[in-house]
Amino acid sequence: MDITVNILLTIATAATPLLIAAIGELVVERSGVLNLGVEGMMIMGAVGGFGAGYLTGSPWIGLIAAIVIGALFSLLFAIMTLSLATNQVATGLSLTLLGLGLSGMMGTSFVGLPGERLPNLNIPGLSSIPIVGKLLFGQDPIFYISIALTIAVTWFLFRTRTGLTLRSIGDSHTSAHALGIKVIRYRYLAVLFGGACAGLAGGHLSLVYTPQWVENMSAGRGWIALALVVFASWRPWRVLAGAYIFGAVWIGQLHAQAFGIPVPSQLLSSLPYLATVVVLVLISRNKRLTMMNTPASLGQPFVPDR
Amino acid sequence: MKKLLIALMTTTAALSLAATAEAADKLKACWVYVGPIGDFGYSYQHDQGRLEAQKALGDKIETAYLENVSEGPDAERAFERLAREGCKIIFGTSFGFMDAEVKVAKKFPKVMFEHATGFKTGDNLGVYNARFYEGRYVLGQIAAKESKSGVAGYIVSFPIPEVVMGINSFMLGAQSINPNFKAKIVWVNSWFDPGKEADAAKALFDQGADIIVQHTDSTAALQVAEERKLHGFGQSSDMIKFAPNAQLTSLTDEWGPYYISRIQAALDGTWKPDNVWLGIKDGAVKLAPYTNMPDDVKAMAEATEKKIAGGWNPFTGPVAKQDGTPWLKDGEVADDGTLLGMNFYVKGIDDKLPQ
Amino acid sequence: MMRLELVKRPQRSLLFSMLSPFIAFGLTIIAGAIMFALLGVNPLNAFRIYFIEPISQVWQLHELAIKAAPLILIAVGLSVCYKANIWNIGAEGQFILGGIVGSIIPVMFPQFEGPLVLPLMLLLGMVGGAAYAAIPALLKTRFSTNEILTSLMLVYVAQLFLDWMVRGPWRDPQGHGFPQTIQFGDSAVLPQLMPDAGRANLGFVFALVAAVAVWLLMSRMLKGFEVRVLGSSPRAGRFAGFGPNRMVFFAFTLSGALAGLAGISEVSGTIGQLQPVISPGYGFTAIIVAFLGRLNPLGIIAAGLVLALTYLGGEAVQTALGISDKVARVFQGMLLFFVLGCDTLIHYRIRLVGLAAQKPETTAKLDAAAKLGEAR
């Protein structure tokens, strides 16, 4: 029984940064903006979170720093794509490039230092209940934030007026503009939210997952988060499901190896990517479902005419 | 901004002249690293060696390096650049640099080249390597003593001889204490992905391993051991700071002494291409202080270390291959060629070696 | 509180389409100077080493050509995709597959030699890249699956496939167990252009030829018109009788073939064997090159050379000044940012609007340029 709980905990840790970054990107894409810079914002969050945590000795300050740095970094993207109407794909890619480079330069002095880890939740009585105690009441704080974010974003997008407005902007920025909605302002806020989430996801890497700083420690997780958003056809709960499925495949292949199943490890390592492709195909085959959810103006620059 | 620009312009002429004039009589020693020096692992340790050399030889030398050089066309350019920029002795630190270094060495016969872990030599090209497997034998013995479940988790990067050699040596060490000792092996296909290494460590612990060994560079696996109150071994550098209660010892690379001796030889004019495989006795392979273990285990580890330093080879027969066919007869010692090309497991390993 | 406001120009500004690359380069230099100053080195000296020194020696010019060739080849193909509004970002995978498929002859039939070997290898390389690119194209046309994500995911698969090949079936039996194939025979190696002066090989010629050919295709032929129409307005394209699905296949296979050609040229010309990693991210860097060159094949030649220079310069400052190699990445990112930002000036006028009072129109242009600098 213990092993099942442990595996579930491991999957949760692997899935949490993916979930958070993907939820942020989901809001961005729902507003009609495609930010391919998730990997860059994430790694900036990781270095910022580690740095602030290490220098102040408080992982909580690190956590806040990660969020702030992620948001600030995404501001660059927002100014470029929203105020200057540049191509979103190219701008996102250069954001990633810049993030990987800058984080490496900023982090030089943090290499080889043990970081501060955010403590796991520990509620006397509850956390020690067999099986469910650890799963429900004994995880790291960012895990709870990720679940809360999923709930909050679902509620925001589908239950509030502002959420409805945001989605309408994503579907047609021209009609939204015609209705007098401040398209650019909404998108700025969405991009900043996405950046904050990516930063938080990066903070999870350097403050919980592996409390240390090394170059390129995000190791492609930002890209997977991007895939998850499409995988989930822009639905928060499906992002959550996707992140956990992905985490399960990821952890599962390690367990399969440790168990001694003789499959080429390269094949096992490529499974998550192949699985993403397959699922992408499966969901996009269903035209109605995709059409309903895909933000129609995704990736198109918008310049309000006056 | 304008002011800054003007200020910059006025200093142009002076600087472009001054830049090349200094340091003509110092010997320039240069390094090419395959990873970023910020990896806190393999390339980091080589760079520590460079810094040691710089410190020891002071103003007799100057040093330079190129990091993150990918194996292939970039490597050839890296070596050529350093040779042209006046480096007198150049260390290439990754196996994949071999052919590039051979080519450039032919082109610059007056420059001294050294290549780590390769097997091609030349008139001005020497090779050096470290017998990390010696240390892994000690790790195996400690693991077998300290493990309660009799199972170790072994996280590995890629199935190259160096790594296979390490697994075999570790198992021989462990079997010398507990013939039924088992190791579960996970290939992560990366030298460096902290998240994946942490996940692998968790998976191995979950499947019953209680000691973690790694042939990857990050500290992540040890941090997991620390969290779970289990034990493990560090790799490349001393990782005790990351896992004060979990690290038993760490298998560290110490390139400094070698670099100092070779650069000193270059200074003295006595440098000759060499083919050395350094081990515990040369100080190139070191075991970090033994911690978190009882005194008798510590004594045993120290004794084994001494025995190996005295010239005993962990690959001394009788040893059988995985399928039971005999490999080394009683008292027979494996030759270096076989070790450097090792692509088979010894008896008692459950994993199937990826081919 | 200030905010930027874009005002569409009645037509694209000729002045700014000429000036914008220079403004962008100038801004990059200024930002770079600040960065160098922060790192504690003299910016002018750093710039001399970064941008001038690498192009002042013949052997380095050859290195520049070697580095630029794959970037240009891939970017030229990608420019067609992006003009058609098709987002192939998996060129890295197509490059790798081109390298693998192109190596079938020298690795599996090393006894087969002669003048036919090289053309066949190049052809196979192009087929390999094109076939791999056809996967996202097929998924997009059949199932309307987002090509950005499928092409990207296939990059990781290709990398692992290459890894498996060189560690498994294709490993050199005499290679001491190291992960690499046998060295290619002489007839499988792409010849060098001027062996006495440096290493540059035919790959650079391929890049130039491909750039000119695609430029002709795009500017002088109906196909190019079709690409542009479908790219800017799929509806109009359909009315004109152009098939969007055929276009997806055309753009993907063309760019895949060029990426594959780049892959096999790199393997045959500069590496001489297959190894676990054959590209330091050329497929991704080429995306930047395509945009730096404004999706114009001739512009891409220039952009490829500039980007290659940022790599060489990065190495030069590393050895000379001990600056981290991350500088090159930061430079590339900044350069692309500034180019994208300045290109906005071609189509738009930028006005700075204060919330209290609006500024007069005349000073706005100047402000815009200044603002661009401060914004980052």
pLDDT at A1: 57
* Residue B89 DSSP symbol: E
Count of pairs with CB atoms under 8 A, one residue in B, one in C: 102
B66-70, B330-334, C119-123, C346-350: segment of lowest average pLDDT = C346-350
pLDDT at B24: 53
- The residue range of the domain holding A53 is 2-293
In chain C, which residue's Cα lies nearest the Cα of B100?
Answer: C271
Cβ pair C194, C200 in contact under 8 A = yes
Please state the separation of Cα B140 from the chain's center in Å.
18
pLDDT at B57: 92
User: Has residue A300 been placed in a domain?
Assistant: no
pLDDT at C308: 92
In chain C, which residue's Cα lies nearest the Cα of A93?
Answer: C288
User: Has residue C374 been placed in a domain?
Assistant: no
Instruction: Kindly state the average pLDDT of the residues C132-140.
Output: 95
Q: Which CATH superfamily is domain B132-252+286-340 in?
A: Response regulator (3.40.50.2300)
Total domains in the fold of chain C: 1
Give the integer Cα–Cα distance in Å for B111 and A255. 50
How far are the Cα atoms of A62, C127, C372 from residue C26, in angstroms, in the given order? Answer: 36, 41, 12
pLDDT at C297: 94
**Residue B218 to residue A212, Cβ atoms within 8 A:** yes
Chain B from 66 to 125: CB within 8 A of any A CB: none
pLDDT at C158: 94
* Tokens encoding C210: 């491909």
Helix (H) or strand (E) holding B226: helix B220-227
Give the integer Cα–Cα distance in Å for B342 and C34. 52
What pLDDT, in 10s, does the model give residues C21-58? Answer: 788 888 988 998 998 898 888 888 888 988 888 888 88
pLDDT at A271: 77
Instruction: Kindly state the average pLDDT of the residues C167-185.
Output: 83
The 10 Å Cβ neighbour count of residue B63 is 22
Nearest Cα neighbor of A43 from A99, A123, A116, A2 is A99
Q: Is C346 on the interface with A (CB under 8 A)?
A: no
A258-262, A269-273, A288-292, C357-361: segment of lowest average pLDDT = C357-361
* Tokens encoding C34: 């600040």
In chain A, which residue's Cα lies nearest the Cα of B204?
Answer: A258
Please state the separation of Cα B95 from the chain's center in Å.
11
Minimal CA separation from B292 to chain C, in Å: 37
Environment class of A288 (CB within 10 Å of its CB; exposed 0-12, middle 13-18, buried 19+): exposed
**Residue-wise burial string across C329-345, b where 16 or more C-beta atoms lie within 10 A, e elsewhere:** bbbbbbbbbbbbbbbbb
More confident residue, C65 or A295: C65
Secondary structure of residue B328 in the 3-state scheme: strand
Q: Is C337 on the interface with A (CB under 8 A)?
A: yes
pLDDT at C342: 86
Secondary structure of residue A289 in the 3-state scheme: helix
Please identify which residue in the block is written with the tokens 């402000």: C367
User: Has residue A23 been placed in a domain?
Assistant: yes
Give the integer Cα–Cα distance in Å for B270 and B126. 13
What pLDDT, in 10s, does the model give residues A168-180? Answer: 998 888 888 888 8
- The residue range of the domain holding C164 is 42-322
pLDDT at B325 over 70: yes
| Percent of residues, chain B, with pLDDT higher than 70 | 93
Question: Which of C33, C272, C277 faces B4 most closely, judged by CB atoms?
Answer: C33
* Tokens encoding C114: 């002669």
What pLDDT, in 10s, does the model give residues C185-206? Answer: 888 888 888 888 788 889 999 9
Give the integer Cα–Cα distance in Å for B130 and A30. 55
pLDDT at C370: 43
User: Has residue A279 been placed in a domain?
Assistant: yes
Cβ pair C21, C29 in contact under 8 A = no
Helix (H) or strand (E) holding C311: helix C297-321
What pLDDT, in 10s, does the model give residues C264-286? Answer: 999 998 888 898 889 888 998 89
- Output the pTM of the full model: 0.85
pLDDT at B40: 80
CATH code of residue C304: 1.10.3470
pLDDT at B23: 46
Hey, do B25-130 and B132-252+286-340 end up sharing a CATH topology, with the first three levels equal?
yes
**Residue B67 to residue C33, Cβ atoms within 8 A:** no
- Please report the beta strands in C213-354, taking only residues with DSSP state E, as ranges in sequence order: 348-354
Minimal CA separation from C116 to chain A, in Å: 34
pLDDT band at C374 (very low <50, low <70, confident <90, very high): very low
The dihedral built from the CA positions of residue B143, B144, B149 and B151, taken in this order, carries a sign that is positive
* Tokens encoding C257: 């073939």
A129-143, B273-287, C304-318: segment of lowest average pLDDT = A129-143
* Residue C50 DSSP symbol: I
Name the amino acid, one letter, at B323.
D
Give the integer Cα–Cα distance in Å for A49 and A67. 8
Please state the separation of Cα B310 from the chain's center in Å.
22
In chain A, which residue's Cα lies nearest the Cα of B157?
Answer: A265
Environment class of A267 (CB within 10 Å of its CB; exposed 0-12, middle 13-18, buried 19+): middle
Total domains in the fold of chain A: 1
* Residue C192 DSSP symbol: B
Helix (H) or strand (E) holding B249: strand B247-253
pLDDT at C2: 61
**Residue B67 to residue C318, Cβ atoms within 8 A:** yes
pLDDT at C364: 43
Domain B25-130, architecture per CATH: 3-Layer(aba) Sandwich (3.40)
Q: Is C367 on the interface with A (CB under 8 A)?
A: no
Neighbors of chain A by Cβ distance (3+ pairs < 8 Å): B, C
**Residue C333 to residue A101, Cβ atoms within 8 A:** yes
* Tokens encoding B259: 């670099």
Q: Where are the domains of chain B?
A: 25-130, 132-252+286-340
pLDDT at B310: 92
Give the CA count within 13 Å in the CB-facing half-sphere of C195.
5
Give the list of residues 6+ apart from residue A141 with CB closer than 8 angstroms, or none: A63, A118, A119, A121
Minimal CA separation from B168 to chain C, in Å: 15
**Phi and psi based region of residue B348 (left: phi greater than 0; alpha: psi -120 to 50; beta: remaining):** left
pLDDT at A8 over 60: yes
Environment class of C280 (CB within 10 Å of its CB; exposed 0-12, middle 13-18, buried 19+): middle
Give the integer Cα–Cα distance in Å for C232 and C218. 14
Task: Find out whether the peptide bond into B318 is cis, omega within 30 degrees of 0.
Answer: yes
Nearest Cα neighbor of A73 from A57, A94, A58 is A94
Please state the separation of Cα C304 from the chain's center in Å.
7
Residues of chain B positioned with their CB less than 8 A from the CB of A266: 189
Instruction: Kindly state the average pLDDT of the residues B21-34.
Output: 78
Give the integer Cα–Cα distance in Å for C268 and C188. 7
Residues of chain C positioned with their CB less than 8 A from the CB of B70: 277, 280
What pLDDT, in 10s, does the model give residues B138-197? Answer: 999 999 999 999 999 999 988 888 899 999 999 999 999 999 999 999 988 777 788 889
**Residue C329 to residue A101, Cβ atoms within 8 A:** yes
User: Has residue C370 been placed in a domain?
Assistant: no
pLDDT at A293: 67
CATH code of residue A111: 1.10.3470
pLDDT at B341: 81
pLDDT band at A292 (very low <50, low <70, confident <90, very high): low
Environment class of C63 (CB within 10 Å of its CB; exposed 0-12, middle 13-18, buried 19+): buried
Q: Round the average pLDDT of chain B to a whole number and report it.
A: 87
pLDDT at B46: 94
Cβ pair B219, B198 in contact under 8 A = no
pLDDT at A209: 92
What pLDDT, in 10s, does the model give residues C323-367? Answer: 877 888 888 888 888 888 888 888 788 777 765 444 444 444 444
Q: Is C25 on the interface with A (CB under 8 A)?
A: no
Give the integer Cα–Cα distance in Å for B174 and B151. 10
pLDDT band at C167 (very low <50, low <70, confident <90, very high): confident
Please identify which residue in the block is written with the tokens 């996970």: B186
pLDDT at B20 over 60: no
The interaxial angle of helices A265-285 and A221-231, nearest 10 deg, is: 30
Three-state SS annotation for A199-254: HHHHHHHHHHHCCCCCCCCCCCHHHHHHHHHHHCCCCHHHHHHHHHHHHHHHHHHH
What pLDDT, in 10s, does the model give residues A28-49? Answer: 999 999 999 999 999 999 999 9
User: Has residue C314 been placed in a domain?
Assistant: yes
Environment class of C234 (CB within 10 Å of its CB; exposed 0-12, middle 13-18, buried 19+): middle
pLDDT at C355: 52
pLDDT at A110 over 80: yes
Give the list of residues 6+ apart from residue C291 with CB closer than 8 angstroms, or none: A87, A90, C82, C336, C339, C340
